[in-house]
Amino acid sequence: MNTFVAPEIDWAALTPTLILAGAAVVGVLVEAFAPRRSRRVVQLVLGLLATAGALVAVVWRWTVVSTDGPREVVGGSVIEDGPALAAQAVLALVGLVGLLVIADRTESGEGAFVAQAAARPGSAEEADATRSGMAQTEVFPLTMFALAGMFVFAQAGDLLTLFIALEVLSLPLYVLSGLSRRRRLLSQEASLKYFLLGAFTSAFVIFGIALLYGYSGTVRFSGLAQAVPATVGMDGMLLAGTILVIVGLLFKVGAAPFHAWTPDVYTGAPTPITGFMAAATKLAAFAALLRFVYVVVPDLSWDLTPFFWAVIILTMLVGTVVGIVQTDVKRMLAYSSIAHAGFILIGVTALQSSGIGSVIFYMLAYGLATVGAFAVVTLVRERDTAGNVTGEATHLSQWAGLGRRNPVAAVAMTLFLLSFAGIPLTAGFMGKFAVFTAGVDGGQTVLVVLAVLASAATAFFYVRLIVLMFFTEPDGETVAVVSSEGLTTVAVAVCAVGTVLLGVLPGPVLDMAAQAQTFLP
């Protein structure tokens, strides 16, 4: 006898995700049927409208949840509550500014992406495609698919949905990481490393899901939360499955020792994708990790504390110490992101209601600074002996004297670096203050002290770049800040204004984050 009961689906609750997924599907059709010359404009307009529409839909759903309360959607596979909607709002905002950087081109018409991804690097086919003005506009639907996966990742209510969302957000990023216009071999190497390590991590997650299902007989977070204190005699299976799932999420946030992919992928991927990935993927992964830790395993806090403490300390140590010796701007920012992952994990493991809102606020501050910083990197280019502008100038020495060549770009980069360092009157300071306060409230004073010391140490490599830009003589005219169509400038301006406002007037956003501090069990 068939006992399957189809779940009732509240389609309105899925509106933000459906807008992004629908735009991604339409984008694929545009690639198939639209004339080549019009594809880029159509894709860009479609992507911006979809991302803005998703943000509006999230605001609408926020008002509904505030009035009617949180709810389960698709039979509990998806949860619509405050933390999920707050994470989706930040994702939509970061996606919107990230899309501007992805779509921008220099004044010479050169974008960040290869003309034809299928052509062998350095081949005649690649040269012909570049000369003919071909554009790899598939990057827009791929970005939409990744963003849609991140939306579901942040509100997954069971382990299977979590895994499917993980794959939906990861697969497009594997492809996008290998599409850099220059340094093609380095970009393809980054894509391959990301894919192999991502597949390896997916196996960890699947194995963890199998163990947790064997332990509890369910994959729902709510069912697991009820089974943890009630099931006797299988604690080893529970602990192993929990750690395996957490390891998969720690890989996505770039926490040590699961960080090996981060510096290579950040360096080799097209810089606009690096900025988008560093901000959005980390936020979605932290949102999923928050839900798993706060809903499923609070009763395992005693068992998991040594594991989390080891990960947090190692993450801060690796990000700080290795970041200090970097000479490449993108690798430096990669190790900076690793250190920040350690700071944010303090809020995740605090198991205080304030920890949820503080992590979301931190990720908003970090996301704006990250997209803005990588956007500036896309504009700082090398000059060859003939005076032609070529690839990005990522070596630290090439940034010497940038404050004299282009004060606006240098000031914007300085603002983002100061936010990373946690200097007062920037968003980064308020983010760290909120997370560290939650950590102290959760009895993690030792970790907070170590984080403050690590934060002070990371300030060294931020200040070093600032000194290079403003207080060091430039070495000839080998570097230029290129003009673009203006989309990157808009993104940098939005990120800069947001970084200042969140540092000077954080109250309204902190109040909204405080309203998103309760997970639906």
User: What average pLDDT values come out for the chain (521 residues) when binned by 10 residues?
Assistant: 72 94 95 88 95 96 91 89 94 96 84 78 74 81 96 94 95 93 88 92 94 92 86 80 95 91 93 94 95 87 90 96 93 95 94 90 95 94 72 87 89 96 94 94 94 93 92 78 88 96 92 83 58
Q: Is the bond preceding 172 in cis, omega lying within 30 degrees of 0?
A: no
Tokens read off for 155: 């509100």
Q: What is the pLDDT of residue 386?
A: 64
* Contact present, 179 and 117 (Cβ < 8 Å): yes
Q: What is the pLDDT of residue 231?
A: 65
Tokens read off for 141: 């639907």
Q: Return all residues near 321 (Cβ < 8 A) that are at least 6 apart.
A: 457
The number of beta carbons lying within 10 Å of the beta carbon of residue 425 is 12
Report the Cα 182 to chain-centroid distance in Å: 23
Amino acid identity of residue 396, one-letter, is L
The dihedral sign for the CA sequence 218, 219, 222, 228: positive
Q: What share of the chain is helix, strand, coil (3-state, %, to 5)?
A: 75, 5, 20
The number of beta carbons lying within 10 Å of the beta carbon of residue 223 is 17
Phi and psi at 502, nearest 5°, equal -70, -25
Q: What does each C-alpha distance from 143 to 131, 132, 182, 280, 287 come to in angstroms?
A: 26, 25, 20, 11, 19
Tokens read off for 474: 């430039």
Tokens read off for 108: 């010479």
Q: What is the pLDDT of residue 351?
A: 86
* Contact present, 502 and 415 (Cβ < 8 Å): no
Q: Is 209 helix (H, G, I), strand (E, B) or coil?
A: helix
DSSP state of 123: S
Q: What is the pLDDT of residue 14?
A: 93
Residue among 248, 251, 114 nearest 188 (CA): 114
Tokens read off for 272: 């606009």
Q: What is the pLDDT of residue 319?
A: 95
- pTM of the full predicted structure? 0.94
The number of beta carbons lying within 10 Å of the beta carbon of residue 218 is 16
Tokens read off for 404: 């004299």
The arrangement of strands across the sheet holding 380-383 comes to: 389-392, 380-383, 479-481
Q: What is the pLDDT of residue 517?
A: 80
* Contact present, 376 and 410 (Cβ < 8 Å): no
Phi and psi at 473, nearest 5°, equal -70, 135
Q: Give the H or E element holding residue 316.
A: helix 301-324
Residue among 26, 324, 491 nearest 34 (CA): 26
Q: Is 301 helix (H, G, I), strand (E, B) or coil?
A: helix
Q: What does each C-alpha distance from 253 to 133, 178, 198, 210, 244 come to in angstroms?
A: 36, 20, 12, 23, 15
* Contact present, 424 and 455 (Cβ < 8 Å): no
Q: Where are the domains of the chain?
A: 11-514
